[in-house]
Amino acid sequence: MHDAPVLSLEALRQLEAVARRDGIDLMARAAQAVLEWVEARLDSPALLLVAAGPGNNGGDALLAACLLFQAGYAVEVLLPETPRTAEAQAALRQANALGIPILSSLPEPTPAPDLIIDGLFGIGMDRAPEGLWTTLLTRLDQLPSRRLALDVPSGLNGWTGVAPGVCLRADHTLTFLAHKPGLFTADGADYAGEVTLATLGWPADDLPEPCGELNEPSAESLRRRRNSHKGSHGTVLVEGGASGMAGAAILAGRAALLAGAGKVHLRMHGPFPPYDSQTPELMLHGAGEALPDAVVWVCGPGLGTSQHARHALEQALESDLPLVLDADALNLLASDALLASRLSRRTAATVITPHPGEAARLLGMTTREVQANRPLAVQTLARQLACQVVLKGAGSLIGSPDGYFLINTTGSPALAAAGQGDVLSGVIAAFIAQGMPLANAVTLAVHCHGLAGEEYHREAGGPIGLTASETARRIGRIINQLIG
């Protein structure tokens, strides 16, 4: 059973068809969920503006307006177009019978309600709003009111998270039946606000097969016995640090140590100091030296794209160690089909951690195209390269070769700074070194990295000023909090 499943649009439509066949009134259940959400947060007679569209999302909103009106709230319904579906038309008749005020447009000036309930567009929205809808969404967005979106904020694509035009920013989204990836990734991270799932009483074990789920990892396996030593917690090898880029490899190495690895070796491809003065525990080697013993290999931070770098990546791909590939390792893979083929044939566990630009190069498309459908991009990459993939960004996605993906819900724009990817690679490697399977290590590392950004944002009062070095220093505390 999946605790926070994601269903495809096709699966959701299938579920709705089953409900109609079996006489299950999902619209009434959604309206009841809205009533319960509002009653938990606002006392009657608060002023509520219910914005209802012409489809079934508008029907949910209209039925919710009826329940809220009967519960003593001061309700007005904004209905710019006549409902098109039979269910929504029946909901409108019920609202009219109760005498709820129905507005076809917003008056000038519009008094600010205590809450706007957005039921204008549903999950099928795949284009920018046009005409009167653009004007209406803009005006609603300008009102100094709290906003609750039903299922998805109007103007947002519930699958891709892209807002191609005007979108009504929500403070909270009440989504129905299953989670939608677009609420957490791309533009959705800015527009959906706090997301709550209302399952509408549908049994989790009776849902269609999910295509993904929210990332909710466990750190339990990182608990330590008192009778342990540095060898108990594994050795990490970081390969990188070409001329002018030593800092990338050092950041990855520091993060691995601070995330609990017993020992960390750095094999540097450019000039390097005899030791790292801030983290003298790191063991630094030249690229020509023999490979130190390790249980996991990070290849790419500051590696460069020289022939020496290519040879190092070939070595890594031919090894039987778990691999974490980032940065220049990804640039080499994107420019060399033979290397990419070797990766896809690897039997040992591998994860790549591209940002959207790196993912675009690997896929042979533009960054804009990757960002236009992040779920599809991570699924395609994971299938093509037969490995785990972390597509970084707002709402990082973690894809597996079978097409299943996880959506990470932690993070902050504080993490939009140089070196953060190097830190993430080091943390993933540290968790593998401590005995976690690669897939579990990836999900926990992405989660913890996001928590570090949130913690800084909260403490600093905003996102500005978080360095990758500071993120690495926060990781150990976060892990300890998770394992209690």
> Tell me, what CATH number does 17's domain have?
3.40.50.10260
Q: Which of 161, 179, 211 is the last residue of a domain?
A: 211
Number of domains comprising the chain: 2
What CATH number did the domain enclosing 294 receive? Answer: 3.40.1190.20
pLDDT in tens, 244-292: 999 999 999 999 999 999 999 999 999 998 999 999 999 999 998 998 9
Domain that holds residue 468: 220-483
**What are the tens digits of pLDDT across the range 427-439?**
999 999 999 999 9
Mean pLDDT of all residues in 199-213 = 92
Single residue among 161, 191, 211 that ends a domain in this structure = 211
Please tell me the pTM assigned to this model. Answer: 0.95
Both 255 and 393 in one domain: the answer is: yes
Confidence tier at 1 by pLDDT (50, 70, 90)? low
- Residue at which a domain ends, from 211, 245, 278: 211
Q: Do residues 365 and 438 both lie within one domain?
A: yes
The pLDDT score that the predictor gives to residue 110 is 81
Cis peptide before 292 (omega within 30 of 0): no
- Give the model confidence (pLDDT) of 302-313 as tens digits: 999 999 999 999
DSSP secondary structure letter of residue 179 = B
Does 269 share its domain with 127? no
Judge if 98 and 227 occupy the same domain: no
Q: Are residues 229 and 199 in the same domain?
A: no
Whether 225 and 137 share a structural domain: no
Whats the size of the chain, residue-wise?
Answer: 484
268 lies in the same domain as 155: no
**Amino acid letter at 328?**
D
Are 176 and 30 found together in one domain?
yes
pLDDT value at 383 more than 70: yes
Statement to judge: residues 237 and 143 lie in one domain: no
Taking CB atoms within 8 Å and a gap of at least 24, the contacts of 386-389 are: 386/343, 386/344, 386/345, 386/346, 387/343, 387/344, 387/346, 387/349, 387/350, 387/351, 387/352, 388/349, 388/350, 388/351, 388/352, 388/438, 388/439, 388/442, 389/351, 389/352, 389/353, 389/354, 389/359
- Predicted local distance difference test score (pLDDT) of residue 122: 85
Residue 161: name the closest of 333, 356, 11 by CA: 356
257 and 182 part of one domain:
no
DSSP E strands, 330-370: 350-352
- What percentage of the chain exceeds 70 in pLDDT? 99
Q: Are residues 194 and 307 in the same domain?
A: no
**234/177 same-domain check:** no
